[in-house]
Amino acid sequence: MARVNALVITGYGTNCHEESAYALKAAGADNADIVYFSDLAAGHVRMDEYNFLLCPGGFLDGDDLGAAQAAALRWRWSTTNDGHPVLDQLKHFFDSGGIILGICNGFQLLCKLGLLPAVGDHYFERQVSLSYNDSGRFEDRWVTLKANQASPCVFTKGIEYLQAPVRHGEGKIIPMDEPTLNAIVQNNLYALQYVDPETRQPTEQYPYNPNGSPMGIAGLTDPTGRIFGLMPHPEAFNHPTNHPTWTRGRAADIPLGLAMLESGVNYLKAK
Nearest 5°: phi and psi at 113?
A: -80, -15
- The catalytic position among 111, 235, 243, 262 is 235
Distance of alpha carbon 251 from the chain centroid: 24
At 93, give phi and psi (nearest 5°). Answer: -55, -45
Cα dihedral 243/209/152/173 (nearest 10): -130
Per the residue annotation, which of 104, 139, 170, 243 is the catalytic one?
104
Instruction: Please give the DSSP secondary-structure letter assigned to residue 109.
Output: H
Active site residue 111: no
Buried b or exposed e, range 164-193, using 16+ CB within 10 angstroms: bbbbbbbbbbebeeeebbebbeebbbbbbb
In the annotation, is 153 catalytic?
A: no
Q: Which amino acid is present at 40?
A: L
- 49 assigned to active site: no
Strand partners, 52: 6, 99
Alpha-helical (H) ranges within the chain are 17-26, 37-42, 69-77, 86-95, 105-113, 178-186, 258-269
CA–CA separation, 15 and 40 (whole Å): 18
Q: What sign does the CA torsion over 50, 118, 214, 196 have?
A: negative
Q: Running DSSP on this structure, what letter comes out for residue 179? A: H
Catalytic residue list: 104, 233, 235
